Amino acid sequence: MSAPQDVGSAAMVRLVAGRELSARLRDKNFIISSVFILVLLLGTLGLQVVLNSGSEETRVGLVGEAPGLEEALAAQGQALGVDVVVSRLDDEAAARTAIEDGEVDGVLVADGGQGPELLVEQSADGSLQAVVQGAVGQVAVAEQLAAAGVTGLDVPEVTVTALDPDADRDGQRVVVAIIGTGLLYGLLILFGQFVAQGVVEEKSSRVVELLLSSMKPWQLLAGKILGLGLLGLAQIVVIAVVGVAGALAFDLVDIPGELIGTAVSVVLWFVLAYALYASIFAVAASLVSRQEDLGTVIMPTTLVLVAGFIVGIQAAANPDGTLAVVTSFIPGLSPLVMPVRQAAGEVAAWEVGLAVVLAAVAVALVVRVGGRVYAASLLRTGGKTKLREALRAERV
């Protein structure tokens, strides 16, 4: 890569960023990983749709005259949280045909020879038997009371008081935050490795020597981080939009506003987390010259990410615990912990603000110190450079 001498720093950074974007968009690993994530997300949404459909409906056929029984079946289903669909059938032969064809789950013959009879193909599941038994008992009691001259009973309506009315809403928010944190963790690992591999490839092929003849090391570092960062941001935004749109379209959540808020929070935390970890991965990779040695220098950073993900999952169960609270302020861990804390409990605005400030300060420090190491070690080939040697060489 060559450039005119009068090209400014911003243009140099954009040039490197465009180069990184172009290279990764043609990279098979990136394409496969992106498709895999989207397919996994769509599969998860589809599975939720399947699980949420069909399990809440009970189809009951009804044969014979039984005043009030159809209404009793519907009322019993409502009381049990089951959607009861009642179909009138002409006779028992039609009932058997409907069962064999799968049109109904069971048929209640109201005027059987020995009382009401429930016909099923093999066995009656719990909801079907509970609905039918409850409805028959309700009608029988009403008929016996009427025969005894007791009418117009004033049955008080039971008032339902929820001890935690927001439990379902909070649970959905936590699930979204955990999924978002897992996605954030995976993308940080993926793009961090992209940055690191790119640095080592340039060192081992001596391409970096040509690049540094036209630009400064910090311009090369900034361009790499910016280019891959834009790609990663675009990917997580697309995934978030697809996930939120799918959840709303299939009516999988009851809190669209808070779902969108949680997704936006995860995306914003990605920006800070990526800036921090991409710089660390790039600096670590500049210390080695072979892909075989790359794993040893990026392993500590990878372990920090793993620890942050584990603590983030733990924070869902105990968002106010000491571990969750403390780690939500530690740069590098906070992007994986704070979104879950926000979703699982009450987090003050000042806590979020403090975590963001600390993360931003950490990014500034890493970029400043890491840039010195990056500049001093890029042209060192033939083995692994120690961090202390790179810092000392840069000062000299």
The full DSSP string for 257-271 is HHHHHHHHHHHHHHH
- Per-residue pLDDT of 315-356, as tens digits, reads 888 888 899 999 999 998 999 999 888 877 778 889 999 999
Sheet holding 117-119, edge to edge: 83-89, 57-63, 106-109, 117-119
Task: Write down which residue in 114, 147, 180 finishes a domain.
Answer: 147
Does the pTM surpass 0.75? The reply is: no
**Do the domain assignments include residue 193?**
yes
Provide the H-helix boundaries in the chain. 9-25, 28-52, 69-80, 92-100, 126-147, 167-204, 207-212, 217-249, 256-285, 294-317, 322-327, 334-344, 349-377, 387-395
**Do the domain assignments include residue 155?**
no
Quick one: which of 13, 3, 7, 5 has its CA closest to 228?
13
Give residue for tokens 């990605």.
270
**Do the domain assignments include residue 2?**
no
Q: How far apart are CA 94 and CA 75, in angstroms?
A: 25
Does 266 lie in the same domain as 296?
yes
Give residue for tokens 């399947």.
50
Partners of 87 in the beta sheet? 61
Res. 158: pLDDT tops 70? no
Does 88 lie in the same domain as 185?
no
Does 83 lie in the same domain as 188?
no
Structure tokens at 184: 């954030």
Question: pLDDT grade, residue 165 (50/70/90)?
Answer: low
Quick one: which of 346, 350, 355 has its CA closest to 326?
355
Does 122 lie in the same domain as 26?
no
Q: How far apart are CA 296 and CA 202, in angstroms?
A: 18
Task: Write down which residue in 113, 147, 181 finishes a domain.
Answer: 147
Q: What is the pLDDT of residue 355?
A: 93
117-119/57-63 β-pairing: unpaired
83-89/106-109 β-pairing: unpaired
**Do the domain assignments include residue 156?**
no
SS3 call for 84: strand
Does 237 lie in the same domain as 132?
no
Give the number of C-alpha atoms closer than 13 A to the C-alpha of residue 241, restricted to the C-beta side: 6
Residue type, 45: L
- Tell me how long the chain is: 396
**Do the domain assignments include residue 6?**
no
Q: How far apart are CA 289 and CA 201, in angstroms?
A: 8
Structure tokens at 164: 């935690």
Res. 125: pLDDT tops 60? yes
**Do the domain assignments include residue 82?**
yes
| 246 φ, ψ (degrees, to nearest 5) | -65, -45
CATH of the domain at 90: 3.40.190.10
Partners of 61 in the beta sheet? 87, 107
Residues 6+ apart with CB under 8 A from 234: none
Note down the domain range covering 109: 57-147
Structural contact between residues 221 and 9, judged by C-beta atoms closer than 8 angstroms: no
- Per-residue pLDDT of 202-235, as tens digits, reads 777 777 777 777 777 778 888 888 888 888 888 8
Res. 9: pLDDT tops 70? yes
Does 170 lie in the same domain as 143?
no
Highest mean pLDDT among 102-116, 176-190, 191-205, 304-318: 304-318
Q: What is the pLDDT of residue 2?
A: 46
**Do the domain assignments include residue 277?**
yes
Structural contact between residues 19 and 228, judged by C-beta atoms closer than 8 angstroms: no
Does 308 lie in the same domain as 187?
yes
Residue type, 220: L
Structural contact between residues 387 and 300, judged by C-beta atoms closer than 8 angstroms: no
Exposed (0-12), middle (13-18) or buried (19+): which is 261, by Cβ within 10 Å? middle
Quick one: which of 29, 5, 8, 66 has its CA closest to 223?
8
The predicted model gives 138-146 an average pLDDT of 73
Res. 53: pLDDT tops 70? no
Residues 6+ apart with CB under 8 A from 363: 272, 275, 276, 279, 331
**Do the domain assignments include residue 104?**
yes
Res. 5: pLDDT tops 50? no
Q: Which of 37-46, 293-302, 337-346 has the lowest mean pLDDT?
A: 37-46
Does 128 lie in the same domain as 234?
no
Does 119 lie in the same domain as 89?
yes
Highest mean pLDDT among 57-71, 94-108, 265-279: 265-279
Does 243 lie in the same domain as 134?
no
Residues 6+ apart with CB under 8 A from 41: 239, 242, 243, 246
Residue type, 186: G
The predicted model gives 78-87 an average pLDDT of 76
Q: Count up the domains in the chain and report the number.
A: 2
Does 226 lie in the same domain as 186?
yes
Does 100 lie in the same domain as 129?
yes
Residue 11 or residue 126, greater confidence: 11
Q: How far apart are CA 108 and CA 95, in angstroms?
A: 9
Task: Write down which residue in 121, 147, 173 finishes a domain.
Answer: 147
Q: How far apart are CA 339 and CA 342, in angstroms?
A: 5
Res. 160: pLDDT tops 60? no
